[in-house]
Amino acid sequence: MNRVLILLLSLLPVSLILLSCGGYSAPSNGTGSGVKYRAFITNRVSAGTGFAGVYVVDAANDLRAAVSPISAGSTPGMMVLTPNRNLTLVFSPGINPLFPENQLTLISNSAESAVGHVTLPGGTESFVVSPDSSAAYVAVPAPTVPVTGQSPGVIDVISLNTGTTATEISCPPKNPNPPNPPPPPVCVTKDQGDQGFNPPYHFLSIGNTGNRVLGFSQGSGSVANLVAVITPSSVGTANPVVTFVPGFDHPVWAYFNSDDTTAYVVNCGPECGGAQASVQTLDLTTNTAGAPVPVPAATVAVVSNSTMYLAGTPMPAQTCPSGTQATSCGLLTVFDLSKMTITNTAPIIITDGYHNRMALGANGQLFIGAHTCTEIVPPVPPPTGAEVRGCLSIYNTQNVTVGSIQPGAVTIPPTTGDVTGIQPIATRDVVYVVQGQNVQGGTLYIYDTKTDAVNAVEEQKFSNLIGDFVDVKTIDF
């Protein structure tokens, strides 16, 4: 275990695990730690005096709150905050992959305690919450116990008002002898009629109104080139719940315009087994794919006004500049959604790896995280001037100098390991980053956005925060 450096980060039924003897408990208005501006940090291991759970941090002063960690399964990791900030959802895959836990915990942010646990039918790497905070949609690409006669892939819909499963979205197998009249189709492919397959949903995106959820699959088959357009209001009606729209190239994410009539879909392309990374519109009034606009690489994106920033590792990878031992690098692309064009004229070179974390912090500093990148880890003790390199890149999006950071500069900090959490701290020139998985263990760093470097002074404040951390989220405005 490492000392945490915070230097500047069925068909298978879904069952509710009862808490104490009362089952699901509605969120209360408890005082909890009493901290005004909090961050939650997930720790996936127990060791010494530290316990697995969700730790509460004073994000205004970089101090651990004087409360016990919140119980959220044996290996809590990824978190999602509800839009109304009443609940935080935490997924725990479990310690033993042969006997997975697959637990989704609902934490009351006011009481700082778990109010419900939901056991999912399989693991997940993506879940989203409706804008009104009433429901969570969880992508389960492969249920732990396959259902006979049904292809894998379901989306569980969790009611956040009751902590129970509202429904499970899946496509029933085709009936070779349908009744007369036949039941209304649940899933259809645009222009091809009823479909009886469930793609292995990996990623979800949700619109601003909650009227549409988009599901994205991965793999080598044609199903990975479809976007599943899900209409939650159609559940239980005669209208299709899922419409599969073809014409994409291994899509992974989407951004919706203000009225949800258009989604801007990010195609992963070759990094995910396809042909060409791109940005492509999807007309949600007609479920029609637009023409793709090629980009160098794209596995993650973030949008600021009409600018989309996309990160990925080209295939073959980008050649790295001089000054590093790394021979493989990735690329950041700046894309104008209003004109559907790339705006950066020169390559913006970042670390390689599979990029899946990105956030825009104060002073226009864009933090980009990846996993399975090229690590440069020096021997111990490290020689003077030895290079240290991991999976984090920081890009200055401003066209002016910020502190000591030149316009358009890319900084690759001397920290190693996968990046699993990035959280800008509002009202401060600070970004929390969790990095270190697969190397020294998940470590929480505090970055100063005026220098794009860790803040060594703040490190000492968290000397009592010990664990193997995974994700970080601010809970209060």
Q: Are 50 and 41 in contact (CB under 8 A)?
A: no
Is the pLDDT reported for residue 6 higher than 50? no
- Tally the residues of the chain: 477
**pLDDT tens digit sequence for 8-56:** 333 333 333 334 333 455 555 555 899 999 999 999 987 656 789 999 9
**pLDDT tens digit sequence for 133-161:** 999 999 999 877 665 555 678 999 999 99
Task: Choose between 147 and 326: higher pLDDT.
Answer: 326
Is the pLDDT reported for residue 462 higher than 90? no
| Res 458: pLDDT | 81
Two structure tokens written together for 43: 């720790």
Please state the separation of Cα 424 from the chain's center in Å.
Answer: 15
Task: Choose between 370 and 172: higher pLDDT.
Answer: 370
Is the pLDDT reported for residue 321 higher than 70? yes
| Res 3: pLDDT | 38
Least confident of 139-143, 282-286, 463-467: 463-467
Name residue 452's amino acid: D
Task: Choose between 310 and 223: higher pLDDT.
Answer: 310
Beta-bridge partner residues of 424: 431
Least confident of 74-83, 145-154, 369-378, 452-461: 145-154
The CA distance from 37 to 61, in Å, is 9
- The count of C-alpha atoms lying within 13 angstroms of the C-alpha of 7, restricted to the half-sphere facing its C-beta, is 13
At residue 145, φ and ψ (nearest 5 deg) are: -110, 105
Question: What single string gives the DSSP state of each residue in 1-36?
Answer: --B--------PPPEEEPPTTT-S-------TT--S
Taking all residues of the chain, what is their mean pLDDT, rounded to a whole number?
88
Is the pLDDT reported for residue 344 higher than 60? yes
Q: Are 19 and 25 in contact (CB under 8 A)?
A: yes
The CA distance from 80 to 68, in Å, is 21
Q: Give the residue from 12, 131, 16, 115 showing the smallest Cα distance to 82.
A: 131
Query: SS3 for 376?
Result: strand
Pairing of strands 288-289, 278-283: antiparallel
| Res 172: pLDDT | 76
What letters, b where the CB count within 10 A reaches 16 and e where it falls short, cover 403-416?
eebeeebbbbbebb
Pairing of strands 242-245, 187-189: parallel
Is the pLDDT reported for residue 353 higher than 70? yes
Kindly compute the dihedral angle of the four CA atoms of residues 377, 397, 283, 222, in this order, to the nearest 10 degrees.
-20
Q: Give the residue from 125, 175, 170 showing the smallest Cα distance to 146.
A: 170
Q: Are 150 and 174 in contact (CB under 8 A)?
A: no
| Res 191: pLDDT | 61
**pLDDT tens digit sequence for 171-207:** 876 666 677 777 777 888 876 556 667 888 999 999 9
C-alpha radius of gyration, the chain, whole number: 22
| Res 338: pLDDT | 97
Name residue 426's amino acid: A
Beta-bridge partner residues of 193: 189
Cis before residue 181, ω within 30 degrees of 0? yes
**pLDDT tens digit sequence for 217-252:** 987 678 899 999 999 999 888 888 999 999 999 999
For residue 320, the 8-state DSSP code is P
Least confident of 28-42, 137-151, 281-295, 303-317: 137-151
| Res 268: pLDDT | 97
Two structure tokens written together for 78: 């990824």
Residue that the structure tokens 């499970």 belong to: 168
**pLDDT tens digit sequence for 52-104:** 999 999 999 999 999 999 999 999 999 999 999 999 999 999 988 888 999 99
Q: Are 441 and 465 in contact (CB under 8 A)?
A: no
How many angstroms separate the Cα of 418 from the Cα of each of 309, 415, 421?
Answer: 20, 10, 9
